[in-house]
Amino acid sequence: MELNAANTAWILTSTALVLFMTLPGLALFYGGLVRSKNVLSVLMQCFAITAVVSMLWMACGYSLAFTNGGSANALIGGFDAAFLAHLQEGTIWATGNIPESAFVLYQMTFAIITPALVIGAFAERMRFSAMLLFSSLWLLAVYVPVCHWVWGGGWLASMGAMDFAGGIVVHITAGIAALVCALVVGPRKGFQQQAMMPHNLTMTVTGAGMLWVGWFGFNGGSALGANGDAGMAMLATHLSAAAGAATWSAIEWLRHGKPSVLGIVTGMVAGLGTITPASGFVGPLGALLIGITAGIVCFFMTMTVKHVWKIDDSLDVFPVHGIGGIIGTLLTGLFASTGIGVFSGQGFLNAAITSVDQQLLVQLVAALATIVFTTVATWALLKLVNLVTPLRVSAEEETEGLDIIDHDERGYVL
Q: What is the pLDDT of residues 377-408, one digit of tens each?
A: 999 999 999 999 999 999 999 999 999 999 99
Q: How confident is the model at residue 96 (pLDDT cuts 50, 70, 90)?
A: confident
CA distances from 23 to 45, 47, 117, 264, 397 (A): 11, 7, 12, 21, 27
Q: Are 73 and 154 in contact (CB under 8 A)?
A: yes
**Spatial CA neighbour of 335 closest among 385, 264, 284, 384:** 284
pLDDT of residue 338: 96
Is the predicted pLDDT of residue 205 greater than 80, yes or no?
yes
Q: How confident is the model at residue 94 (pLDDT cuts 50, 70, 90)?
A: confident
Does the pTM surpass 0.85? The reply is yes
Residue type, 169: V
**CB-based burial label for 36 (10 Å; 0-12, 13-18, 19+):** middle
CA distances from 177 to 33, 183, 304, 344 (A): 20, 10, 18, 33
| Domain coordinates in residue numbering, the chain | 5-407
Mean pLDDT of 254-263: 97
Burial letters 207-219, b for 16+ CB under 10 A, else e = bbebbbebbbbbb
Is the predicted pLDDT of residue 414 greater than 80, yes or no?
no
pLDDT of residue 345: 97
Q: What angle do CA 98, 230, 114 make, to 5 degrees?
A: 80
Q: CA-to-CA distance for 359 and 354, rounded, in angstroms?
A: 8
311 secondary structure, DSSP code: -
Q: Are 278 and 328 in contact (CB under 8 A)?
A: yes
> Per CATH, the architecture of 5-407 is what?
Orthogonal Bundle (1.10)
The mean predicted confidence, pLDDT, of the chain is 97
pLDDT of residue 408: 97
Q: How confident is the model at residue 83 (pLDDT cuts 50, 70, 90)?
A: very high
- What is the secondary structure of 285-301 as a DSSP string? HHHHHHHHHHHHHHHHH
pLDDT of residue 1: 76
pLDDT above 70: percentage of residues in the chain:
100
pLDDT of residue 157: 97
Q: CA-to-CA distance for 289 and 236, rounded, in angstroms?
A: 10
pLDDT of residue 95: 85
Is the predicted pLDDT of residue 307 greater than 90, yes or no?
yes
pLDDT of residue 212: 98
